[in-house]
């Protein structure tokens, strides 16, 4: 079983150090510490375990070190920055593992860009040696890239010519969409095994600056301090400590403090319940800082994020997830108001951004999600985003009309999807005025009102509820999982295209296909024969 909880003292592959407003995240991958003994992580190549540590380090900088304004990402190995994803790991992995690995690494790189855009933390990639494949994709996620000019070090995306696959972490998209490399130059670069180095890498916009070895370290520090100077983060701490989540894991359940996942493997379903708090909640930034990671939205959404990752990696046959909430809906809406009222405070901002990233993780998870809104539910504001993110929602229409949902300011901007729109804007693309009407609505909406407003899919009454919900879940679980993955990915991201949707839409679709083609993974496919004697054998027909 793969777990995602770690901490800097337990890192095997990264060193995280601090010098005032500058943090340095140094890659030093242990060859013998991969998730499997079947491969060695040579040349700072990485597997999922390396990226779990990277994601944790970025999260801790955001929450535990508000005084950090810039992060330098570099390597402790001489003349090697990173050789990219470990090829032997990819070669021996199942199709599902390869795809989930690529998805997680994409989300980690997007978290870097999110921290830059919204948290005031700038990232500088200091490439002290060869930087290939996924290593260059990590650099591309940073704000700026500095390359040592030693006559040998280069940047490259060699996946297509070497392995018959694509760069798996958004490299092609970031080269042209983010760094604005000319398409013809990007085409040549992406088919060149040895990569581009020196002044040409700067001229082609593949890196921002190059420095000779004698000047490299000082130049990196100087530029990091310049980037740090433009941050709006606090000059000093304290931050808060992100303590271990410590869920209770059994054969049939994962139980956290505010999230519960019940597994029904025989039916290939899971019930995911988020428990809302009750009673008075913290309402000032000072109180929230004092509470640390026990403030409910931070605790609950960290747990939800961990639960989603465990479902993805450890439970591949669970295809349908039923989402429920329990608790006091008014308390959830009150917490949302606190988050919006104090959104300029660094910690409140980070909590809201974590909620946003967690909901995006749900959007991008290849499982069917059905939200069940029942008596005692707490689908209000930020928790109602779970229902909006679900593929369908069923709301129990009770005779007394006490089962309600509520909207809050959190539904109208702070938690956008990958397409840059809120889930309400995406839901009502054909009728943008509907969002304004809902924004003006004050108070709860019962099942009839919610169905009429288009906020839920169906609102069965007591006579139909049990049968309709049961048949919906059973029918979904009976469909082809591949067809459902494709169907959901096509439907969830209506609206404008962004760099993020391109990465997850175009890349995931193509890489999914390529990872199953004999030209890549057949007996003589390029990925299979890499590192062995002989050359790959291709079916030359274009499809």
pLDDT value at residue 532: 87
In a domain, residue 513? The reply is no
Q: What is the pLDDT of residue 508?
A: 84
Cα distance between residue 487 and residue 421, in whole Å: 20
Residue 420 lies in a domain: yes
Q: Which of 199, 228, 257 is where one domain is finished?
A: 228
Tens of pLDDT, residues 489-520: 999 989 999 999 999 988 888 898 999 999 99
Query: Which pLDDT value is given to residue 361?
Result: 98
One domain, residues 153 and 190: yes
| Cα–Cα distance, 221 to 217 (Å, whole number) | 6
Same domain, 327 and 215: no
37 located within any domain: yes
CB burial of residue 209 (10 Å; 0-12, 13-18, 19+): middle
Residues in Cβ contact with 155 at an 8 Å cutoff, skipping those fewer than 6 apart: 127, 131, 132, 136, 139, 145, 147, 195, 196, 197, 201, 206, 207
Say which DSSP state 244 is in.
-
223 and 300 both lie in a single domain: no
Q: Which CATH number goes with the domain that contains 419?
A: 3.90.226.10
Assess if residue 542 is contained within a domain: no
Instruction: Let me know whether 320 and 455 are in one domain.
Output: yes
370: β partners: 322, 392
3-state secondary structure of 370: strand
As for how many domains the chain has, the answer is 2
CA dist 154 → 34, 42, 206 (Å): 26, 18, 10
Residue at 525 is within a domain: no
Do 205 and 329 reside in the same domain of the chain?
no
- Residue 531, domain member (yes or no): no
Answer whether residue 481 is part of any domain: yes
Give 288-339 as a DSSP string. HHHHGGGSHHHHHHHHHHHHHHHHHHH-TT--EEEEEEES-HHHHHHHHHHH
For residue 237, count other CB atoms closer than 10 A to its CB. Answer: 12
Of 177, 195, 228, which marks where a domain is finished?
Answer: 228
pLDDT at 429: 96
On whether both 273 and 420 belong to a single domain, the answer is yes
Distance (Å) of CA 58 to CA 64, 66, 194, 244, 264:
10, 12, 30, 16, 34
Helices (H), 376-480: 384-389, 423-427, 432-440, 447-452, 465-478
Range(s) of the domain holding residue 445: 248-487
Select from 200, 228, 256 the last residue of a domain: 228
**In this structure, are 168 and 83 located in the same domain?**
yes
Q: CA 360 to CA 323: how far, in whole Å?
A: 15
Whether the pTM exceeds 0.85: the reply is yes
Under a CB-based contact definition with an 8 Å cutoff, are residues 73 and 126 in contact? yes
The reply to whether 37 and 104 lie within a common domain is yes
- The helix/strand/coil state of 409 is helix
The pLDDT value given to residue 149:
98
Has residue 74 been placed in a domain? yes
Burial level of 17, CB count in 10 A (0-12/13-18/19+)? Answer: exposed
Same-domain pairing of 351 and 220:
no
Q: Are residues 148 and 257 in the same domain?
A: no
Residues 218 and 298 in one domain: no
CA distance 272 to 255: 10
pLDDT-flagged residues of the chain (< 70): none
Tell me the C-alpha distance between 297 and 352, whole Å. 8
84 by DSSP, 3-state: which?
Answer: strand
User: Do 271 and 312 have their domain in common?
Assistant: yes
SS3 261: strand
């Amino acid at each position: 079983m793969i777990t995602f909880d770690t901490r800097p003292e337990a890192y095997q592959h990264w060193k995280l150090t601090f010098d005032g407003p500058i943090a340095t995240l140094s890659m030093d991958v242990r060859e013998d510490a991969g998730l499997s003994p079947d491969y060695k992580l040579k040349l700072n190549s990485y597997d999922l375990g390396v990226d779990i540590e990277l994601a944790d380090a970025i999260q801790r900088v955001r929450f535990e070190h508000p005084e950090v304004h810039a992060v330098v990402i570099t390597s402790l190995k001489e003349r090697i920055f990173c050789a990219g994803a470990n090829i032997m790991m990819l070669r021996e992995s199942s199709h599902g593992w390869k795809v989930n690995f690529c998805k997680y690494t994409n989300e980690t790189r997007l978290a870097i860009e999110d921290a830059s855009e919204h948290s005031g933390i700038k990232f500088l990639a200091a490439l002290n040696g060869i930087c290939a494949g996924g290593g260059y994709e990590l650099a591309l996620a940073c704000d700026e890239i500095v390359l040592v000019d030693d006559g040998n070090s280069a940047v490259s995306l060699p996946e297509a010519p070497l392995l018959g696959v694509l760069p798996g972490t958004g490299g092609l998209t970031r080269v042209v969409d983010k760094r604005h490399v000319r398409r013809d130059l990007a085409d040549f670069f992406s088919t060149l095994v040895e990569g581009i180095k020196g002044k040409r890498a700067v001229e082609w916009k593949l890196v921002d600056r190059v420095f000779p070895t004698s000047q490299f370290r000082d130049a990196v520090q100087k530029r990091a301090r310049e980037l740090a100077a433009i941050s709006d983060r606090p000059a000093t701490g304290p931050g808060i400590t992100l303590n271990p989540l410590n869920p209770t894991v059994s054969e049939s359940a994962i139980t956290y403090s505010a999230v519960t996942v019940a597994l029904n493997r025989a039916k290939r379903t899971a019930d995911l319940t988020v428990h809302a708090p009750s009673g008075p909640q913290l309402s000032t930034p000072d109180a929230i800082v004092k509470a640390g990671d026990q403030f409910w939205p931070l605790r609950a959404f960290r747990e939800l994020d961990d639960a989603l990752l465990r479902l993805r990696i450890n439970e591949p046959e669970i295809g349908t997830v039923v989402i429920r909430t329990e608790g006091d809906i008014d308390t959830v809406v009150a917490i949302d108001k606190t988050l919006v009222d104090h959104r300029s405070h660094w910690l409140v901002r980070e909590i809201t951004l974590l909620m946003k990233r967690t909901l995006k993780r749900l959007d991008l998870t290849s499982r069917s999600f059905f939200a069940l809104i029942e008596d005692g539910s707490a689908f209000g504001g930020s928790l109602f985003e779970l229902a909006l993110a679900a593929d369908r929602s069923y709301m129990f229409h009770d005779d007394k009309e006490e089962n309600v949902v509520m909207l809050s300011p959190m539904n109208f901007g702070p938690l956008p999807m990958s397409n840059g729109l809120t889930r309400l804007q995406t839901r009502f693309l054909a009728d943008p005025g509907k969002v304004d009407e809902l924004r003006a609505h004050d108070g709860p909406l019962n099942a009839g009102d919610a169905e009429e407003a288009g906020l839920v899919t169906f609102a069965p009454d007591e006579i139909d509820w049990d049968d309709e919900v049961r048949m919906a879940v059973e029918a979904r679980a009976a469909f082809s999982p591949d067809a459902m993955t494709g169907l959901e990915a096509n439907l969830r991201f209506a609206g404008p295209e962004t760099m993020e949707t391109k990465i997850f839409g175009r890349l995931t679709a193509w890489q999914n296909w390529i990872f199953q083609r004999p030209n890549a993974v057949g007996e003589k496919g390029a990925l299979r024969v890499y590192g062995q004697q002989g050359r790959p054998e291709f079916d030359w027909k274009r499809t």
